[in-house]
Amino acid sequence: MSFYVTTPIYYVNAAPHLGHAYTTIAADVMARHHRQRGETVFFLTGTDEHGEPVADAAHALGVEPQELADRNAERFKALAPQLGVSNDFFIRTTDPQHEAVVQEVLSRVRENGFVYEGTYEGSYCPRCADFKAENEIADGNRCPIHHIELTREQEENYFFKLSAFQERLEALYAEREDFVAPRSRYNEALSFIRSGLRDVPLTRHKLTWGVQVPWDAEHVFYVWFDALLNYYSALSYAEGSDRTAELWPASYHLIGKDILRFHTIYWPALLMAAGIELPEHIFVHGFLLMDGEKMSKSLGNVLDPFAVIERFGADALRFYLMREVPFGQDGSVSTASFELRYESELANDLGNLASRSIGMVNRYRDGALSPGELDAGLQADFAGLRERVEGHIDRAELHLALEEIWQRVRGLNRYVEEQSPWVLAKDEARAQELDRVLRSLAEGIRVVTVLLWPYLPSSAERLLEALGASELALRSAELGAGSIAQVSAIESLFPKDL
């Protein structure tokens, strides 16, 4: 069984920020979880390098667009390993192999009768690289997302017959109610479809920085159609061979709500026009907000993920972003809330649980745990945990899966206080009871650690090593599925004195 997950490809007109880290970490959590299931996983991310915003940013810096693309693509590449991200390929839309697939697929769309030549006039946002309908324009003739004044553009273009797919898209949404999630975004996309689809520009005539149209050298393809095809093109060359038949269609596209229309309407229509199978799911997450505004390069209100990682480590950032904001909704982030989560949940709930528990096994039993029965109360509390976590992640409810796990982390802390191993250790007559408590505690920590690995890969691996339990497969996330015989000392997972 295969699982193919993608992030949007990120625009190279400026450097990466926390919003990019958010989507990439979410995709990595899903990819790692499905690897734990033993599935064939392919995780794609990359950069979107063509179009007017890149050309304009390069011009402002006095460099060629390719030079700016090269420079910022490297910064996005550098972010992935620092985040502990396990992507299988990093695509760039300036890759010649990608450009060739774009030309082939869009030529096929033309041959199938869905492209014609015409004149387009409308209000255009260069940062969105998109024309805005009259009902989308904010007060003052401004983009509702970037708050900049729209320009009036008119040019000769080739058009994509989006209107031809009105009925097919309505049927798609009726037949596959899980095609777009969460439900509010499904409804938003369906509402746009029902309002009546209009044909959209497929090419640009005034722009030169893009993939050249093979049937008309004076045009380049509109950046969004070029960019969307990365999800399909990458499979044909990412690992030196064509894996399209093995991995397509994509299991999940993860995107932000600002690019909903392109992915939930233009993209399936384009694939229909080319005769390509549609992706299984598109999940639309919300914005990370600071001071009530979307975190955005163009708005200048970003937190630097590199600085956060340097001080606290990648796992802390991964945890915070998946824990603080319900995945699929807008949510506020701040340094204060980050530090609160770090201290109260990572350092206290998990870090302290691990160090106390392993310390007691070393202190009272020289690090050795004897085989035997587990606490019945803990077994009842952990029953069905793995299945619930799987179900949440299958629906991209990453925050709910993490909450399920964290309830058990807190439950294990309560278990320590209720059983008081330090009291049992003083009474030789209760030695077997102490063994059972320490054994159950270690086993409970092992289970939650296996389930936490997609979120906290580095910390989870360190903790499992200390427990002498290296198994990461999801089937091992059951009490009693792994026997811990010997533990070793572990340094603080989440130190407070940073």
Out of 34, 50, 294, 399, the active site residue is 294
Out of 77, 147, 205, 297, the active site residue is 297
The CA distance from 135 to 147, in Å, is: 15
Residue 125 a catalytic site member: yes
Residue whose entry in the numeric block shows the structure tokens 């600002």: 258
The CA distance from 254 to 282, in Å, is: 6
Residue 285 a catalytic site member: no
The dihedrals phi and psi of 92, each to the nearest 5 degrees, come to: -120, 135
Instruction: State both tokens at 328.
Output: 């699929």
Contact 35, 319 (CB under 8 A): no
Residue 143 a catalytic site member: yes
Out of 17, 34, 253, 399, the active site residue is 17
- CA angle at 190 for the pair 187 and 195, rounded to the nearest 5°: 125
Residue 294 a catalytic site member: yes
Sign of dihedral through CA atoms 181, 185, 191, 196? negative
Out of 34, 146, 219, 399, the active site residue is 146
Out of 50, 132, 143, 257, the active site residue is 143
Out of 34, 50, 125, 399, the active site residue is 125
Residue 17 a catalytic site member: yes
Out of 33, 34, 50, 128, the active site residue is 128
**Which residue numbers are catalytic?**
17, 20, 125, 128, 143, 146, 294, 297
